[in-house]
Amino acid sequence: MAKNMNDGPGYSGSAASSASFDALHVHLRADLADDIATLGARLLARGRMLVTAESCTAGLVAYLLTTVPGASDWFAGGVVAYSLEAKERLLGVPRGILDAHGAVSRETVRAMGKGALDRFGAQAAVSVSGVAGPTGGTAATPVGTVVVGWAWPDGADEQIFSFAGDRAAVTAQAACAAIGGLLARIGEG
């Protein structure tokens, strides 16, 4: 069962803020191991390969996914595209989308996911872009704003989150939301 990433122990701003970066990741790996194993089994049963396209999480989603033995059977790889130029070059995000909507938008995250699917020939993608802080936020996109997307060859879905806490807490919550959201969308059937 996917956890509520806004309320779970170790994910909230206050708990995560006091934890060291390494301790937080150890906690995440332990908390998510069952969910990731379930996700992997579902992807494998459906013959799907998963890829990631990450910005503010800087590879954390891919790292967490690959902490489970056998991940190479259902996880093809990922791209960390932090700059606008990397999103454009590595994932094929059109410059027009970046200029019109910015890096932290449903449109950009959708294009990141579709680009990862195309480049890897995969059947499922998770994409993440946001403002982890402590700087970089604006009135329209404050620190803690993260857009997570899930894509497959014939569709996509995105969700906007507002996470609290320091940089480590925001990225941890974003990674959890990405994995939990994919697990929910893959379903049991």
**Could you read off the pLDDT of 105-125 as tens digits, one per residue?**
999 999 999 999 999 999 999
Residue 176 in this model has a pLDDT that exceeds 90: yes
Residue 95, domain member (yes or no): yes
Percent of the chain with pLDDT over 90: 82
Q: Is 175 a member of any domain? A: yes
> How far is it, in rounded angstroms, from Cα 172 to Cα 182?
16
Alpha helices by DSSP H, listed for 92-188, are 95-101, 106-120, 167-186
19 in a structural domain: yes
Q: Give a yes or no: residue 127 inside a domain.
A: yes
pLDDT tens by residue, 55-94? 999 999 999 999 999 999 999 999 999 999 999 999 999 9
pLDDT at 69: 94
Indicate the pLDDT class of residue 157, thresholds 50, 70 and 90. very high
Amino acid in position 157: D
Q: Helix, strand or coil for residue 147?
A: strand
7-21, 139-153, 163-177, range with the lowest pLDDT: 7-21
**Between β-strands 124-130 and 50-54, what pairing exists: parallel, antiparallel or unpaired?**
parallel
Helix (H, G, I), strand (E, B) or coil at 44: helix
Q: Name the 3-class secondary structure at 3.
A: coil
Question: How confident is the model at residue 145, as a pLDDT?
Answer: 98
Domain that holds residue 19: 13-186
The domain total for the chain is: 1
Task: Note whether residue 6 is domain-resident.
Answer: no
> Is position 31 within any domain?
yes
Q: What is the pLDDT of residues 9-20, one digit of tens each?
A: 334 444 444 446
User: Which uninterrupted H or E stretch holds 86?
Assistant: helix 84-91
Asked whether residue 7 is assigned to any structural domain, the reply reads no
Model pLDDT, residue 25? 65
Distance of CA 65 to the CA centre of its chain: 10
* CATH number for position 66: 3.90.950.20
Q: From CA 50, how far away is CA 65, in angstroms rounded?
A: 10
Mean pLDDT of the chain: 89
CA dihedral 140, 142, 148, 153 (to 10 degrees): 30
Residue 134 vs residues 94, 129, 171: alpha-carbon distances, Å: 28, 15, 12
Structural domain includes residue 3: no
Let me know the angle formed at the C-alpha of 95 by 172 and 162, rounded to the nearest 5 degrees: 25
pLDDT at 166 over 60: yes
Assess contact for 174 and 27: CB atoms under 8 A.
no
